[in-house]
Amino acid sequence: MSADPPHALEPPPLPRSLLAVWPVIAVGALAWAVAAAAAFLVPSLESWRPQTLAGLGVGVIGTSIFVWQLAAVRRGARGAQTGLETHLDPR
């Protein structure tokens, strides 16, 4: 029996299409906007109003934090989140 540790296999990198964040953000925002519109236009869905507005608000806050972290990565801030380099525009 060998004392050498087994070689760790590294998983292949994810395809670029699975790393795209903006389509996910756009679909989520659109879904919450449609739900909010339905809540305000359909009288029987009146009870949905607080949840749909909260969903839109949380989406805006989350997207703002993501954009803020992207800006920090662009300017090279020490406290910036790592791993976001793949989401930057190649310039």
Domain range annotation of the chain: 21-80
* DSSP character at residue 8: P
Label residue 32 exposed, middle or buried (CB < 10 Å: 0-12, 13-18, 19+).
buried
- Convert the pLDDT of each residue in 27-74 to its tens digit: 999 999 999 999 999 999 999 999 999 999 999 999 999 899 888 888
Report if pTM > 0.75.
Answer: no
55, 35 contact by CB (below 8 A) = yes
Report the alpha-carbon distance of residue 49 to residue 55 in Å, rounded: 10
Q: How far is CA 86 from the centre of its chain?
A: 13
For residue 6 the two structure tokens come to: 């087994």
Q: What is the pLDDT of residue 26?
A: 94
55, 32 contact by CB (below 8 A) = yes
